[in-house]
Amino acid sequence: MRDVLSMSAVVPPPRTAGGLLPTRTLTRVEDGERLHALLWRAGAGWRMISSAVLGGGLGERAWVLNAQVAHGYRRTDPHRHLADLARAAGVSGPGVGVMTAADVRAHRRAHDGGVEAVVTAGIAVRGWAAVPAEAVITPDQPGTINIVAAVPVPLTDAALVNAVATATEAKVQALLSAGYDCSGTPTDAVCVAARTPDAAQDVQAFAGPRSLWGARLARAVYAAVRAAVVDATAGRPATATGGVCRVAAPGNLCSEWKKNG
């Protein structure tokens, strides 16, 4: 069934991708510009750690929204903007929201041993994390690498923190492998999800790159980031598919969200 929120224009229905981290591509029109978003309805049973502006930190979360915004985004309340977009998309309760000026339809997805990563990449602004103080400026161009990864086992709090470090290391490795002499962009975000502990599974205490689940996480993130930045460099269309990753194809405020029920 197709649901339409305040529909006033015809937009192709979004597609979904399956697996541990199934995403749905949503479309909206905002200030006359068609923009897109990726929505993962994780549901109950997940703990997430994230640097996101909405729902960041560590705790139980039920959804993740990666929303494209216009180039030159100037709103000073991104958390409120993301919360409004999430409500319009039909999700409620605690969740995670991140933003990017990149076209999220060009996301890349990778799997390794039960771990899954989904990455969107905008690399117009990039550099090293540690630079001379006089070189620190606020970027005026879009450039964000957003990483969302899911691990199918419970992790301790410390292991979740370790997982963020592992994902970040894998991102830098992918950038260097793709020919970029940088550690990322100033606005990169990461979200790692793990199952909520229960009596049926052991809670994993480690997620470093040489642990079982950390190694799988690193490989998945590396593959997805590398594919995303290579495609961004090549200027491939958002609906293209290729490499080791799958791509899901096809938006005042959220006046035209469309989704499949």
The per-residue pLDDT string of the chain (261 residues; one tens digit each, 9 = 90 and over) reads: 233 233 223 333 344 455 899 999 999 999 899 999 999 999 999 999 999 999 999 999 999 999 999 988 889 999 999 999 999 999 999 999 999 999 999 999 999 999 999 999 998 889 999 988 876 555 545 569 999 999 999 999 999 999 999 999 999 999 999 999 999 999 999 999 999 999 888 999 999 999 999 999 999 999 999 999 998 877 654 543 323 333 222 222 223 344 433
Task: Report how far apart the first and last C-alpha atoms of the chain are (Å, whole number).
Answer: 5
Side-chain half-sphere CA neighbours of 30 within 13 A: 21
Order of strands across the sheet that contains 108-112: 57-60, 46-50, 189-195, 145-151, 115-121, 108-112
Angstrom distance (rounded) from CA 108 to CA 229: 9
Q: Which residue has the tokens 């139980």?
A: 60
Burial of 197 (0-12, 13-18, 19+ CB in 10 A): middle
- The pLDDT assigned to 251 comes to 27
Helices (H), the chain: 78-88, 157-177, 212-234
Angstrom distance (rounded) from CA 150 to CA 217: 8
Could you give the domains of the chain? 15-235 (3.60.70)
Angstrom distance (rounded) from CA 221 to CA 211: 15
Helix (H, G, I), strand (E, B) or coil at 28: strand
- The pLDDT assigned to 72 comes to 86
Q: Tell me whether strands 46-50 and 189-195 are parallel, antiparallel or unpaired.
A: antiparallel
